[in-house]
Amino acid sequence: MITNKYWVFKSAISKEKCEEIIELGSKNLENAIVGGEAEKHNNPDKVPSNTLTKQEIKEKNLSTYVRDSQVSWMDEKWLYELISPFVQKANDSAGWKFDIVHHETPQFTKYSGNGFYGWHTDGYGDHNAVFKPYVRGLTNIKMRKDGGVPHEYTQNHKHFYLVRKLSMTVNLTDPTTYDGGDLMFDFGSNDDGKITAKEGREQGSVIIFPSFLYHCISPVTRGVRYSLVNWTLGRPFK
């Protein structure tokens, strides 16, 4: 049982730096591969899962998509230098003290027009969740529809056999310019239940939490919400 479910650095990144990330990330969106089997654009005949519980989906036998957004990837060195201290400090201050060794590539995300990300976890952290190595020409697996490797595989040798342990999201957008788009957590019926991380809505706020926690982004009903997301990896929990 963890005492602190998430850790917030309120308005920790300047408005100017947020706008710089938005400008660069938006340019990358133009050349981004349209990917994600859970995305709306790859599931034209399915219904959104944004207002449904897992139980409702199961009982009604619905075919759903989990996410409606645009994403791109940002591999600039200065971004790693920007986010790494927050992850390290949160890991220590929150008392998690997870064994972490490497960051994945930061993901830039745009939500608009009721865009959302339904309930999910980023990773469970056990030996069953490790990234398996993919070696082009040698690993015999079925590729995703967008041409990418399945999510449980990686081409980055630094990520082989590691798991996601800490997740991070940075709200890049002035909260007065959009409605919805809340980061929410579900800690289960026997705990605190569903809560909204309201203290993380300020522009430049950084929220870090264990990757095994259920969370979602509620639909953006007005304006546009931009975020930067990253996952920190380590060896599986024992």
pLDDT at 235: 96
pLDDT at 193: 64
Q: Which residues contact 129 (CB under 8 A, 6 or more apart)?
A: 123, 152, 163, 164, 236
The confidence band for 34, taking pLDDT boundaries of 50, 70 and 90, is: low
The predicted-structure confidence for 154-181, as pLDDT tens digits, reads as follows 999 999 999 999 999 999 999 999 999 9
The predicted-structure confidence for 77-97, as pLDDT tens digits, reads as follows 999 999 999 999 999 999 999
Residue 141 has pLDDT above 90, yes or no: no
CA distance 175 to 223: 10
CA distance 40 to 47: 9
pTM of the full structure: 0.91
pLDDT at 62: 83
Mean pLDDT of the chain: 90
Mean pLDDT of 47-70: 83
Q: How far apart are the first and last CA of the chain?
A: 14
